[in-house]
Amino acid sequence: MGGDDRRIYIRRLKFTDTRSMLELRVRNREFFQLFEPIAPDAHYTLAGQQELMDQVQKNWDNRSQYVLGIFLSTPNQLIGRVSLSNVVRGAWQSCTIGYFLDASFNGLGLMTEALRQTVHFAFEEAALHRIQAAVMPRNRGSSRVLEKVGFRYDGFSEYYLNINGVWEHHNLYSLTTEHWQPGV
């Protein structure tokens, strides 16, 4: 998960990333709100982000969630996040994926790169078998990113998630190790 010649790299978020995450969230608050559940005002404070980061570390340690920062290789700047959540082990070995990227970096292919690296992490390092995603139909850019990485359309779910105070329909996607093509 290193930087080498890539434009971006992903890595486990650390406590030292808390202030950078707060700045990212505050800078993109209005943009992200269109695609996320409503967060309390405390979410946009250092204390709120420190609390979240503490939970992120605990979840990583107990293998129930893996939260990765997306960083520009140069100048080593946090520009987004990918989360593998709702990890279930046993016979399922599955998770859900969620992600966001600073609005000023949209449309440059960086999220596609980040998801490719995340899928590699999920299958090779976290030993998962299936990754599921849900995207609002109007978020065509996000659907396109998933498709470029190899996710397959599974179906449509009405009133799936409460986003910005509204129960939104979502298109469902998944990728399993059987359909994953490393390096593509």
pLDDT digits (tens, 9 = 90+) for 88-97: 999 999 999 9
* CA-to-CA separations, 164 to 37, 135, 140, 153, in angstroms, rounded: 5, 14, 18, 24
For the structural domain made of 8-176, what CATH number should be given? Answer: 3.40.630.30
Tens-place pLDDT, residues 156-177: 999 999 999 999 999 999 999 9
Give ∠ CA 152-100-70 in degrees, rounded to 5.
100
CB 67 within 8 A of CB 83: yes
Buried b (16+ CB within 10 A) or exposed e, 126-165: bebbbbbbbbbeebeebbebbeebbbeeeeeeeebeebee
Residue 4 has pLDDT above 90, yes or no: no
What is the pLDDT at residue 80?
98
pLDDT, averaged across the chain: 95
pLDDT category, 182, cuts 50, 70, 90?
confident
Domain coordinates in residue numbering, the chain: 8-176
- Judge if the upstream peptide bond of residue 75 is cis by omega within 30 degrees of 0: yes
What is the pLDDT at residue 82?
98
The C-alpha atoms of residue 66 and residue 21 are separated, in whole angstroms, by 16
Strands 66-72 and 8-12: antiparallel
- Percent over 90 (pLDDT), the chain: 93
CB 123 within 8 A of CB 93: no
Residue 2 has pLDDT above 70, yes or no: no
pLDDT category, 184, cuts 50, 70, 90?
low
pTM of the predicted model, to two decimals? 0.93
What is the average per-residue pLDDT within 110-122? 98
